């Protein structure tokens, strides 16, 4: 069974149709988090799940389209943060492809990696857009404290973003992993591009 490279741009129809569902799951995660008043965003569960199912290219597309849709339906500022979502999708896809999201512990570790990637990309955007703040209460409180303590802006802003991203991305990865494990193999196999038809003749 030949394995397509994880960067293959040949996406089958099932993987493409997965993307709107993944963006929908992101949306619903956000809604549930709001309704249950959880201190998390949980708006990347779909992207991470899609990346686990179909690889980094689909993960990247989910991230990009997610923010484009948010931009058209909630807040235009989301367009600017699209790069961050794309990188989350790519990171999750690479981790999943390399088998790094296999159990609870590895899911948590992967979540940390994804949080780190998200922080690395979002921080420069935060600095450019909002002078380093993220709009999150606790994160910005930390930012204020860091700035008052004369820490450099990139550190203050980075910590602000990190403190928000770590719980959110770890939780999102755990949830995405949990859902992934619960899916029947008959469904997950559809997204693997390397299946062949066996001959019975």
Partner 1 sequence: MKSISLYQDKNTPVHKLDPLSKILYIVVANLIPVLLGNRIATMAFILISIVILTIGRVLKRTAPMLGFSGLVLITVVIIQGIFRQGNATPVLTLGSVVFYKEGLLFALNITLNVINILMSFSILVLTTKPSDMVETFVRLGLSPKIGYVMSSVFQIIPQMTETMATITDAQRSRGMETEGKLITRLKAFFPLISPVVMNSLITTRERAIALEVRGFDSTQKKSFLSELKKTRSDQIFKAALILVFILSLVGRVLMWLK
Partner 2 sequence: MAKIVVEHLKYRYPLTEELVLKDISFTIEPGEFIGIIGENNAGKSTLCQALVGIIPNFYKGAYGGKILIDEIEVAKQNVSDICRKVGIVFQNPFNQVTGSKLTVYEEIGFGLENMGLPRNEMIERIDYSLRLLDIYKYKDRNPFDLSGGQMQRMAIASIIAMRPEVIILDEPTSQLDPQGSDEVFRAVQSLSHEGITIIMVEHKMEKIAAYSDRIMLLQDGQIAAFDTPQKIFSMDDLDRYGVNAPAFTRICKSLNIKDEKTGCYPVTLKEAEDALSLSGKGGLRV
Q: Which residues are at the interface with partner 1 (CB under 8 A)?
A: 11, 13-14, 16-21, 23-25, 27-29, 31-33, 35-39, 42, 45, 49, 61, 65, 68-69, 71-77, 79-80, 129-131, 133, 135, 140, 143-144, 147-148, 150, 153, 175, 178-179, 182-183, 187, 190
185 binds, among partner 1, partner 2, none (CB under 5 to 8 A by kind): partner 2
**Distance of closest approach, residue 199 Cβ to partner 2, in angstroms:** 7
Alpha carbon separation from 37 to 41, 43, 76, 111 (Å, rounded)? 10, 14, 24, 21
Q: Which of residues 20-79 bind partner 2 (CB under 8 A)?
A: 20
Query: CB of residue 78 vs partner 2: minimum separation in angstroms?
Result: 21
Closest CA to 51 of 84, 15, 92: 92
Q: Which is nearer to partner 2, 58 or 175 (CB)?
A: 58
Contact criterion met (CB below 8 Å) for 62 and 23: yes
Q: Which is nearer to partner 1, 25 or 95 (CB)?
A: 25
Give the separation between CA 171 and CA 178, rounded to whole angstroms.
10
Helices 45-54, 56-73: axis angle to 10 degrees equals: 150
Going by C-alpha positions, the residue among 118, 164, 117, 116 that lies closest to residue 140 is 164
Helix or strand or coil: residue 85? helix
Residues in the chain: 201
**Using CB distances below 5 to 8 A depending on partner kind, what does residue 189 bind out of partner 2, partner 1, none?**
partner 2
The DSSP line for 67-81 is HHHHHHHT-THHHHT
Site for partner 2 in 166-195 (CB under 8 A): 185-186, 189-190, 195
Nearest distance, CB of residue 201 and partner 2, angstroms: 5
C-alpha torsion 14→18→20→26, nearest 10? 180
Per partner kind, with CB cut-offs from 5 to 8 A, the member of partner 2, partner 1, none near residue 133 is: partner 1
State the minimum distance, in angstroms, from the CB of residue 121 to partner 2: 30
Which residues in this chain contact partner 2 in the complex, by CB under 8 A? 13-14, 20, 185-186, 189-190, 195-201
């Amino acid at each position: 069974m030949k394995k397509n490279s994880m960067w293959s741009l040949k996406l089958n129809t099932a993987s493409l149709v997965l993307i709107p569902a993944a963006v929908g799951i992101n949306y619903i995660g956000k809604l549930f988090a709001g309704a249950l008043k959880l201190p998390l965003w949980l708006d990347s569960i779909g992207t991470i799940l899609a990346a686990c199912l179909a690889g980094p290219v689909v993960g990247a597309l989910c991230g990009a389209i997610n923010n484009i849709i948010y931009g058209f339906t909630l807040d235009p500022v989301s367009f600017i943060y699209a790069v961050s979502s794309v990188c989350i999708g790519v990171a999750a896809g690479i981790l999943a492809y390399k088998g790094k999201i296999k159990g609870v512990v590895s899911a948590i570790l992967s979540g940390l990696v994804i949080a780190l990637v998200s922080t690395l990309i979002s921080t420069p955007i935060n600095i450019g857009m909002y002078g380093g703040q993220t709009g999150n209460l606790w994160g910005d409180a930390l930012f204020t404290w860091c700035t008052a303590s004369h820490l450099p802006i990139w550190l203050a802003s980075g910590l602000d973003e990190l403190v928000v991203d770590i719980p959110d991305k770890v939780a999102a990865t755990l949830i995405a992993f949990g859902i992934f494990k619960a899916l029947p193999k008959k469904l997950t196999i559809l997204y693997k591009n390397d299946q062949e038809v066996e001959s019975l003749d």
